[in-house]
A and B are shown apart, each in its own frame.
Chain A
């Protein structure tokens, strides 16, 4: 009787434990989905984070031509050929966004009045946020319509349709809040880190497994590589900024840069790549090596023509794990790529990876939970897909030598 109770008790504990883990995962997903899902759309992925402001006035020789019909979304002003709608930005502000501008509209025949670009052709583009408008009323006076006076989309169109006899100028802003720059930075980081860590990692694994004799020094090297896996990534970041920064200076970096971040990540990835490659090499049957060598192939021919092609699945697993690590890494990048969001990153500029961007937008004066959740969802989705691919490859690996 006592044994039965103990048995049931232990069984219950395992149930509770697994239920707890599922609950935690579910809670995280639920939080992210409720907060961030509505923000995920093509605009988020493809546009700049910073909104740019533009000032433009209608060109002098603009002659009013009647507008064509429009029956799309938003509230349309048939008089001025512009359709607008109310939106809430990723920074949780209510704005009036342009959905459509007629080719004949005065808003389509403007020139920039921004300092430095005066006279350059400009137009109100779809997706812009209208900030203020100068218009001419029935009495021929120039009137200023501020963002606050506009109210919402319906009110703005009402004022323009009822009171305006001409448009003078307009101030508008691009929507912003996108993560394109961080996506590009993340891709740069993946490319740089893999380009460096893959050849070095594979070569070291080949040395350790194919060439190295069993000696104390090699055991030490192996132990060292295993230990590298456990070093906190912030320590790598410190090392990157002190040791690797001078190297990036040689190619022209003046500050911390994506290149520096990539180099640091390459070092972080090395142990992963080495151990996964080595595991793949262990699986390659010795009989294949013997077969190759007995045919008069040299050791390097054997490795490159037989052993490595057989190990390719395992190496790919390492690559994918590495990509996952790069996407998820943040601490090591704080010092090395900086935490400044950059819409137009290049190798020698600063920038943030997706994970680091979360840190940046959460650490300002107004933390943006929703955008952070949206980015987290995107990262989770990528990692999820990568994990599935790793599993599929793992299965293929297990099957290939039976």
Chain B
């Protein structure tokens, strides 16, 4: 029996008057990679941002329905949002390292939680960098600005920064869309490596990427989940005509 990480029930999301998500229901499993695919503007990014409540930052955004994580509705009044985000990390479309040193970038999260012990911070920084296979590349310039790294390195740094918080879930919002094929391949390998320890939910425009790295795939269209199943099944024999059209490149 697979463990459930997120249990999403009847989620509707509105930007002002406009409804962006319609009646989303799904279960996201622990230690699996789940990919969200679909054409631009279909709501997949909006939905992934629901899972760590980043949508709260957008003015006029209203969420209805329930998302249970470990038996607690993360949209209930009891939920501590800051605490939620320490458990549900996020990697963004464009690498967004802070304009500070590589070390400080990774130590940022733990420091915000009040960790001051230099030894522990050193340990966290080094293990996080090793986990994303960046340590060897930057070992001699940990205290130089992170802005000097290449795009791919920056994105791996952002993943390391996320891992430094030892979250349960890593949300990835098109993490490779701004990267070249080689950097993309490295990130994909990394995702496969990371899924042993973390639950990964990834939004991607790249169908091959979804097929390569995900265990489950959900197809979004116009704010609705058309179909969600085991990745192999989605790509081999989709249940819905629209999914098939999208995957075979007939639209989108």
Query: Does any Cβ of A come within 8 Å of B112's Cβ?
Result: yes
User: How many pairs, one residue from A and one from B, have CB atoms within 8 Å of each other in the complex?
Assistant: 66
B54, B59, B98, B109: the one within 8 Å of A288 (CB): B98
Interface size class of B (residues with CB under 8 A): 20 to 34
**Known contacts A305-B112, A400-B99: A295-B94 contact under CB 8 Å:** no
What residues on A are CB-neighbors of B161 within 8 Å? 291, 295
Contact across chains for B162 and A295 when beta carbons are under 8 A apart:
yes
Query: Does any Cβ of B come within 8 Å of A310's Cβ?
Result: yes
Query: Does any Cβ of A come within 8 Å of B108's Cβ?
Result: yes
Contact across chains for A295 and B89 when beta carbons are under 8 A apart:
yes
Contact across chains for B57 and A293 when beta carbons are under 8 A apart:
yes
Stretch at the interface among A62-70, A245-253, A271-279, A296-304: A296-304
- Measured CB to CB, the nearest residue on chain B to A284 is B99
Contact across chains for A214 and B59 when beta carbons are under 8 A apart:
yes
Query: Does any Cβ of B come within 8 Å of A292's Cβ?
Result: yes
Stretch at the interface among B2-10, B18-26, B79-87, B133-141: B79-87
Return B113 CB to nearest CB of chain A, in Å.
7
Contact across chains for A287 and B94 when beta carbons are under 8 A apart:
yes
Contact across chains for B54 and A294 when beta carbons are under 8 A apart:
yes
Give 20 pairs: A residue, B residue, CB < 8 Å, sorted on A. A213-B59, A214-B59, A285-B96, A287-B94, A288-B96, A289-B57, A290-B90, A291-B98, A293-B54, A293-B85, A294-B85, A295-B108, A295-B162, A296-B109, A296-B113, A298-B112, A306-B98, A309-B99, A309-B100, A400-B99
A297 to B86, CA, bound (A): 8
Interface residues of A (CB under 8 A from B): 213-214, 285, 287-298, 301, 305-306, 309-310, 400-401
Contact across chains for B92 and A296 when beta carbons are under 8 A apart:
no
Query: Does any Cβ of A come within 8 Å of B52's Cβ?
Result: yes
Contact across chains for A297 and B109 when beta carbons are under 8 A apart:
yes
B52, B83, B94, B97: the one within 8 Å of A294 (CB): B52
Which residues of B, 163-211, contact A by the 8 Å Cβ criterion? 165
Contact across chains for A295 and B54 when beta carbons are under 8 A apart:
no
A289 to B99, CA, bound (A): 12
Contact across chains for B57 and A294 when beta carbons are under 8 A apart:
no
**Known contacts A213-B59, A287-B94, A290-B57: A295-B85 contact under CB 8 Å:** yes
Which residues of B, 46-66, contact A by the 8 Å Cβ criterion? 52, 54, 57, 59
- Measured CB to CB, the nearest residue on chain B to A401 is B99
Contact across chains for B96 and A287 when beta carbons are under 8 A apart:
yes
A249 to B113, CA, bound (A): 46
- Measured CB to CB, the nearest residue on chain B to A213 is B59
A213 to B83, CA, bound (A): 24
Return A293 CB to nearest CB of chain B, in Å.
7
What residues on B are CB-neighbors of A305 within 8 Å? 108, 112
Query: Does any Cβ of A come within 8 Å of B218's Cβ?
Result: no
A91 to B100, CA, bound (A): 57
**Known contacts A213-B59, A305-B108, A305-B112: A292-B86 contact under CB 8 Å:** no
Return A13 CB to nearest CB of chain B, in Å.
46
What residues on A are CB-neighbors of B59 within 8 Å? 213-214
A310 to B96, CA, bound (A): 13
A297-B82, A297-B109, A309-B99 given; 11 more Cβ-contact pairs under 8 Å: A291-B92, A291-B97, A292-B98, A294-B54, A294-B89, A294-B162, A295-B86, A295-B162, A297-B108, A305-B108, A309-B100
What residues on B are CB-neighbors of A301 within 8 Å? 112
Contact across chains for B165 and A295 when beta carbons are under 8 A apart:
yes
Contact across chains for A296 and B86 when beta carbons are under 8 A apart:
yes
What residues on B are CB-neighbors of A287 within 8 Å? 92, 94, 96
A401 to B52, CA, bound (A): 27
Contact across chains for A292 and B83 when beta carbons are under 8 A apart:
no
Contact across chains for A295 and B96 when beta carbons are under 8 A apart:
no
A306 to B99, CA, bound (A): 8
Return B238 CB to nearest CB of chain A, in Å.
32
Query: Does any Cβ of A come within 8 Å of B158's Cβ?
Result: yes
A292 to B52, CA, bound (A): 13
A289 to B85, CA, bound (A): 13
What residues on A are CB-neighbors of B94 within 8 Å? 287
Counting from the closest, the 3 A-B pairs by CB-CB distance are: A296-B86, A294-B90, A295-B109
Contact across chains for A295 and B92 when beta carbons are under 8 A apart:
no
What residues on B are CB-neighbors of A400 within 8 Å? 99
- Measured CB to CB, the nearest residue on chain B to A402 is B147
A285 to B89, CA, bound (A): 19
Contact across chains for A290 and B85 when beta carbons are under 8 A apart:
no
Return B106 CB to nearest CB of chain A, in Å.
10
A296, A309, A310: the one within 8 Å of B112 (CB): A296
Contact across chains for A291 and B96 when beta carbons are under 8 A apart:
yes
Return B109 CB to nearest CB of chain A, in Å.
4
What residues on A are CB-neighbors of B92 within 8 Å? 287, 290-291, 294
A296 to B53, CA, bound (A): 11
A309 to B100, CA, bound (A): 10
A290 to B89, CA, bound (A): 11
What residues on B are CB-neighbors of A401 within 8 Å? 99
A213, A214, A291: the one within 8 Å of B158 (CB): A291
Contact across chains for B108 and A292 when beta carbons are under 8 A apart:
yes
A296 to B90, CA, bound (A): 10
Contact across chains for B96 and A296 when beta carbons are under 8 A apart:
no
A309 to B57, CA, bound (A): 21
A361 to B161, CA, bound (A): 63
